[in-house]
Amino acid sequence: GENVEQHPSTLSVQEGDSAVIKCTYSDSASNYFPWYKQELGKRPQLIIDIRSNVGEKKDQRIAVTLNKTAKHFSLHITETQPEDSAVYFCAASRGAAGNKLTFGGGTRVLVKP
């Protein structure tokens, strides 16, 4: 089955700096890669996703890149703000398998004011 590795497990950045989180996956059939943000005590919420026919996607301060050959994808947050502090999870899915998600272990991001 699919295995998703996520690094780093914790990330501390100064407000205004950039944050980068990296994930690798094992199943070459995976074709959908969402990123979820989970604040303490709250539900995971989708912040951005990318499909395997696209190499990069951007939404305001958030961008995701995908390298299918190397089987890795990354989340980039620019101009970080204190409200970006949360746990971020990457995930992978094969669309034909009912869209079940395999998650990475999470990255706890702390943005220092």
**DSSP 8-state symbol, 9:** S
Q: Residues 30, 94: contact at Cβ < 8 Å?
A: yes
**85 counts as binding another protein under rule CB under 8 A:** no
Q: How far is the CB of 44 from another protein (least distance, A)?
A: 5
The residue among 37 and 84 lying less far from another protein, judged by its C-beta, is 37
Q: What are phi and psi of 109, to 5 degrees?
A: -105, 130
How far is 4 from 27, CA to CA, in rounded Å? 9
* CB proximity list for 108: less than 8 A, separation 6 or greater: 9, 10, 11, 86, 87
Binding residue (CB under 8 A) for another protein from 77, 80, 104, 111: 104
The residue among 49 and 78 lying less far from another protein, judged by its C-beta, is 49
Q: How far is the CB of 2 from another protein (least distance, A)?
A: 10
Binding residue (CB under 8 A) for another protein from 40, 69, 96, 113: 96
Q: Residue 96, Cβ neighbours under 10 Å: how many?
A: 8
Per rule CB under 8 A, count of chain residues that contact another protein: 28
x/- track of binding to another protein for residues 2-21 (CB under 8 A): --x-x---------------
